[in-house]
Amino acid sequence: MAWLVGTLPAAQRFGQDRGLPSQTIEALALDERGFLWVGTLDGLVRFDSHRFLPVDLGYGRALADPKITRLLSLPGAVYIATPRGLHRFDQHSETLAPVRAGSQDAVGIVGLAREPEGGMVAATDAGLLYRWRENGSVPELEPVALRLSAPLPQITTLAAGREALWLGTTRGVYRVDRATGRTELLRLDLPEISHGEVHVSAVIEDAKGELWIGFWLDGLARYQPERRQVRRLLPGMEAAGALRSTSIYRFLPDGEGMLVGTNRGLVRYQRDCDCFRGLNSPDWDRLEGRGVIVSDLALEPGGAVWAGSWGTGLVRFSNVERVIERQVPVDGRADALAHPMITALRAEPDGRLWIGSYGGGLQFAPAASRRAGEFWPLTALPWGERRVESRFIWALDRTDGDLRIGTGHGLLSWSDRDARLRDVDAGVASVRSLLDLGQGTRLVGTMFGLYREHDGRLDRIALTAPGELPTAAQAIWSLARWDDEIWAGSGGGLWCLGEDLEVRARVEVGTEAGQLPGPVVWTQKSDTQGRRWLGTSGGLVEARREGDTWQFLRHARAPDAGSQSVGSIEFDAAGRLWLGTPRGLVRYDPASGERRLFTTRDGLVGDQLNSNASTSDGERLYFGGSGGVIAFDPGAIPAPDVSLHPQVTQWRLGQGPWEPPRDLILAHDHPSLHIELSAHYFEHPDQVRYAYRWIPGESEFTELGDARSAVFSRLPDGRHRLELRASLADDAGASTVATVFQVEVLPAWHQAWWARAAMLLGLASLAYAVFAVRSRQIRHRAQALAREVRERTRELSAAKEALELANAQLQRQAGTDPLTGLDNRRRLFEVAVQWHAQGRSLGVALIDLDHFKRINDEHGHHTGDAVLVDFANLLRGAFGDSVCHARYGGEEFLVLAESDLGALPDRAERLLLRVRESRVVSALGGSLPYTASIGIAFSAPGETVESLIRRADRALYRAKQAGRDCCRVA
């Protein structure tokens, strides 16, 4: 396994490189349609999980002040505050309008809130309050009369409680009686900060009526109005937990808890433990939040949290990140992780957690210091003047009361009795696994073979299977004792040893039940039911004894994370396995086969989890990898949020401007219609797959895959509804269908009823005039013409039949290969152009007969022709009549399909099987076998037929390189 250390990725981070107009976020809001609204220092955007769509507040002209100060989302509308005024965005018409108090703009709004009875309220920094109600149209602001006994300081924030409004100011919190407007200063029993008459930067009333007050530079206070009790919290206090800042900028209720944005990151108050836990990205933790000012917060229905910050952009924390704790190196702290690459973990019965890293030596954290959601202070073992390589920790094991430590250079022992680190064998290199055999004897697995250690002496154990010659030394990655056997997992399979360490058998790599799927056995673990599990480079394996032999059952679906390798295994109380892989953490249920992949988007420090770097203390599981350590209670992991909301986010005609979604009326000859799509699935937007159909014209969905846009060149006349289906690539049950667009296409002018009526009237008048003038002549010639018509009709009918017969024969000859009877290249491209113009998804199988020139040279062209005819018959039989099969040139054939594309690779394999079984009589006597190679490609949206065939040709070339007689898909 490769050991890579890079930057620590946050769950999901967005900055100007992703489309934000500014790194400084001022306000956030989630609307009813699923858009995330982001107000920045330099403009407003809506995020649909794929794109940041700009919102123009200039009403078609330059915007005087692009800074957004507050956002408030309501059913049907979003209210947007800037320093110059308040605006209303109508969700149905997608239009913006200014909101005023009479003719006056509401300048300097610092707070927007929704009152319990449904009204809205706004506050300005100058001490003005406004009320209004949302009724589906642009409201007028009504000033709120305040009854003051003294001038009001500058307002900084606003909150609406059940009985009163709360104003945060530069000199404390003021209570505004909702009914009378009486405004009074809230005096708190906090003499150390002038009874609360200091700068207040955040205030909110929670569901229990408790008032949360965030001060600028003076910490946080919780006030209970009924009891008039106040509790102040500062960093370092026992109850403050992960709170590490004295400046509070934003509150957001979160169920029974409270999210708190500070100038050193984000914390969440949990009522069940009456504590504050951190909810930060690893980059924030590495700096202990220094420079991270959380300016606003938004909460998704599924529990994910959006945090906007000043200068560092936008971050999304999934609901899993509430559970997963991370420990990373912290700049300037000696008691933090010494190195970000964690290579060994061990939880002890006394509660200590030992953490070994790649270059940072060995550290431990007692149970009491591992408080959930907080920084763990670590104690490092004194390493002395030992070699640098000895600080690479690979294996840990408790034996005879001492901790054995396998390092990159040397086997060490730590004694708790005298707190000393001793060298057991300072010369042994790269110890990767340890196993205590009792009675002072241990097995030591290294990169260079297996050793037995007794009384500080190491003796090498030769690993040679019965009846085989001695092999070169192999790396021993894992050791385990099972009943009367010892299993040594190596880089070349599994060695089974007896009690006397003699080799009983070797399990090699292969596809049979008694073989392993991968050569490296990284780890070996048994669950509470006694089942034995092996993590190998080829996947997860369950070892089962059947009689005197072992069977190795492959759980092929378990990793499914882009890498088959399983480096570490832990178990939870529900019997599920947690697998550390190079691509993330996998939860696997062997009973149901259900699996779930967790990555950095879900709170992991890094996607790479290292082999044997995992442990459990009975409550939490611990995994180490690139970036640091993660810890979590597996029973607390929430179910994934798979709610999908398919929508059209914007559209345009031809090269025109992008427009917001609305019902359309299009001309008969309208330009191409471009639409962009989203399912508003922020969790893993790259996993969303789209399909559409037009109702009533289409019954089946057209698949778009992961394409997030579609182009329609010409829609038929009439009314049409666009149905969009969104589903997840790794979850067949997560699928949502919605009507997202309605279009009416007008008929051409000559097809309108009035045009048809006018034409009918004109034709009738003309016909009558001609009839009146010519009626007499027609009567005289009627009989003669009738006789002539009958005669000519007979002649023309005979000529027409002959001509149609000749044309049909010529058409067949022009489009048919004379030797094989298949379509020729000309006919193939006619069909391809026709299908492509109809917007169909195409699949191409390009086939080449292997070594055909050798057949012609050695057996003659007559035999070569027989091979071509035989293959053409097999081709028709394998693909049927639903495709176009043609001789593309020489020994090359091409199959063009426009339906059931998913079956194309299977049909190709069936064709190869029939070709292998076929024989052709050679002109030289005897039967002649032959083979073929196939390249397959599927069209991408907007791709030309020529480009599609070129990709199929490249896939055919790969099939040739792979040894011929096989199929490859582009």
Active site residues: 891
DSSP result, 801-818: HHHHHHHHHHHHHHTB-T
For 378, the token pair is 């670590």
Other beta carbons within 10 Å of 114: 15
Contact residues for 3 (Cβ-Cβ < 8 A; gap 6+) = 341, 343, 358, 610, 626
Distance CA 341, CA 606 (A): 10
Whole-angstrom distance, CA of residue 870 vs CA of residue 653:
51
- In order, the DSSP letters of 227-290 are TTEEEEE-TTSGGGTT---S-EEEEEEETTEEEEEETTEEEEEETTTTEEEE---HHHHHTTTT
Partners of 571 in beta bridges:
577
Round to whole Å and give the CA distance between 543 and 59: 69
Strands (E), 633-749: 647-653, 664-666, 673-678, 688-695, 702-705, 709-712, 718-728, 731-745
How far apart are alpha carbons 202 and 251 in whole angstroms? 7
Tokens of 423: 């060298």
Question: How does strand 673-678 pair with strand 688-695?
Answer: unpaired
| Cβ proximity of 522 and 536 under 8 Å | yes
- The two counts, helices (H) then strands (E), for the chain are 7, 72
491-496 LR contacts (CB < 8 Å, sep 24+): 491/519, 491/520, 492/519, 493/519, 493/521, 494/521, 494/534, 495/450, 495/463, 495/465, 496/550
Distance between CA atoms of 51 and 173, rounded to whole angstroms?
40
Terminal CA-CA length for the chain:
29
Cα separations (Å) of 27 from 45, 298, 314, 337, 649?
A: 11, 9, 11, 35, 22
In this structure, are residues 63 and 104 in contact, taking their beta carbons and an 8 Å threshold? no
The answer to whether residues 567 and 523 touch, using CB atoms and an 8 Å cutoff, is: yes
Residue 399, burial from CB neighbour count under 10 angstroms (0-12, 13-18, 19+): middle
Whether 75 and 87 have beta carbons less than 8 Å apart is answered as no
C-alpha distance from residue 273 to each of 212, 276, 373 (Å): 18, 8, 12
Task: Kindly state the tokens that stand for 746.
Answer: 């007008």
* Peptide bond between residue 366 and the one before it cis (omega within 30 degrees of 0): no
* Angle, in degrees to the nearest 10, between helices 945-961 and 825-837: 120
Torsions phi, psi of 156, nearest 5?
A: -115, -25
In this structure, are residues 736 and 726 in contact, taking their beta carbons and an 8 Å threshold?
A: yes
- Which of 187, 387, 157, 115 has the alpha carbon at shortest distance from 250? 157
